[in-house]
Amino acid sequence: MDIGTAKLTPEEREGVPHHLLDIWDVTVTASVAEYQRLARERIDALLAEGRWPILVGGSGLYVRGAVDNLEFPGTDPEVRARLEEELALRGSGALHARLAAADPEAAHAILPSNGRRIVRALEVIEITGQPFTANLPGHDSVYDTVQIGVDVARPELDERIARRVDRMWDAGLVEEVRALEAQGLREGRTASRALGYQQVLAAFAGDCTAEAARAETVRATKRFARRQDSWFRRDPRVHWLSGAAADLTELPHLALALVERPVTA
């Protein structure tokens, strides 16, 4: 999944080691708990070598799974199977409404279309008897971290998102999705719902036109960006720097200054 994820090419990596890329097949269901295990193994190994790992990404839960005290409640196969059956019969909207009644904060954080995460939240609520959000961590890091957020005003960000989707289509996203479909993408519960991939698969299925899939990718990405922003804004540890076009030249220097400050203090 190279194009739709904007994965850096080997040339763009310029010889800098990048870890945990291309580790799961498109048919594998992604797990925050499994990612936590893999990420911490790599972080610990790099720290032992005297290297500074840099964690880059936009999924707030996965970031916190890697660096914060976050323990995952177990799973109950019977509860999970019952909820997944209900998801198939009634759709994600009905389950999201139930989640909103049980845990409004969790419902606000999870898209109504994200059936997999809705099922997991309802499963945790049923198993633990607590809101799903009660099982999320406080702002308590496992590692000594410096967290930096790149802030871009909404109009400029929306324009960048539209341009990015245009670049994805021009780079061959449709062809990439077609090739991955032959490798089981449609059956992959995580990969098939990824931004861009889900929309192109819908076009292949005749649920919408190719142009509508492109427009929906832009809309869905904007919604996701807003949720990302809300998630990270709640974390007081994040240092916000301007990523506006006018400030891009200074951004690396300001970020480096934040990273170096704890080391040289």
- How far is 137 from 231, CA to CA, in rounded Å? 13
* Prediction pTM value: 0.79
Per-residue pLDDT of the chain (265 residues; tens, 9 = 90+): 999 999 999 999 999 999 999 999 999 988 888 999 999 999 999 999 999 999 998 788 899 899 998 877 778 889 999 999 999 999 999 999 999 999 998 888 788 888 988 999 999 999 888 888 766 667 888 999 999 999 999 999 999 999 999 999 999 999 999 999 999 999 998 999 999 999 999 999 999 999 999 999 999 999 999 988 988 998 999 999 999 999 999 999 999 999 887 655 4
CA distances from 246 to 222, 229, 251 (A): 21, 20, 10
d(CA 84, CA 117): 11
